[in-house]
Amino acid sequence: MKVVLHGEHSFLEEVEVRSGQKVQECHQCSKCSGGCPFSGVMDYSPNSILEMIVYGMKDQVLPSKSIQMCIQCGTCGAQCPAGFELYEVMNALRAMAKEEGYTSSETKIPKMNKIFLGEVRNSGRMHEVGLIVKNMLSQGELARDVAALIPIGPPMFLNGIMGFGDILPRKIHGQAAVAKIFDNVQKMRGGQG
């Protein structure tokens, strides 16, 4: 959902309005960064992103890998003593970066996120094999990825971890309701998926 602020507004004000979170109330305790499963591979830790917003560092934040790598797991919010939902800030930052034409060096996670959400929308559940195959195709390194799976795949079948029924996706009984949720969210965001 695009939020239009009239007049002169700071980066901080825009992020707070769009995310519904009071960025300036962050205590900088770093619990969000300590709990984030991707913090170690981000270019800026989650709490650093918040501090950079306060200091108006828009040109460093919007093209960062960090905002693209957030998978919205909610671990940050569960760890935060102030009840802050950092993933909402990351969503707002991703939207702002897209709207303003910023690009990030992190391209793989946004692609996988889109594939993952497509799998859930289409079948009502996550289909692991479909996710893996579609992700390998989207990343353009199919031969390397298939070679990496050769030592893993056959033992999974031999040990009963996977069966032939796992290869094709199965829809859940309430799949239409799940698809409707996705449609409603897309409408709320102004048609953006």
Q: What are 23's two structure tokens?
A: 């960025």
Q: What is the pLDDT of residue 61?
A: 96
Q: What is the pLDDT of residue 71?
A: 80
Number of CB atoms found within 10 A of residue 13's CB = 13
Residues 143-171 have pLDDT tens digits of 787 888 888 888 888 888 888 778 888 88
**One-letter amino acid of 124:** G
Residue 55 Rama label (left phi>0; alpha psi -120 to 50; beta) = alpha
* Distance set, CA 174 to CA 123, 129, 156, 167 (Å): 9, 21, 29, 21
Mean per-residue pLDDT over the chain, rounded: 85
The model's confidence at residue 1, banded by pLDDT at 50, 70 and 90, is very low
Q: Given CA atoms 112, 115, 120, 121 in this order, what sign does their dihedral have? A: positive
Q: What are 2's two structure tokens?
A: 């695009």
Q: What is the pLDDT of residue 191?
A: 63
Of the candidates 108, 118, 106, the residue with the CA atom closest to the CA atom of residue 186: 118
Number of CB atoms found within 10 A of residue 27's CB = 12
Q: What is the pLDDT of residue 193?
A: 54
pTM, 2 dp: 0.67
Which helix or strand (DSSP H or E) is residue 120 part of? helix 108-123
Residue 56 contacts residue 96 (beta carbons within 8 Å): no
The residue ranking higher by pLDDT, 45 or 117, is: 45
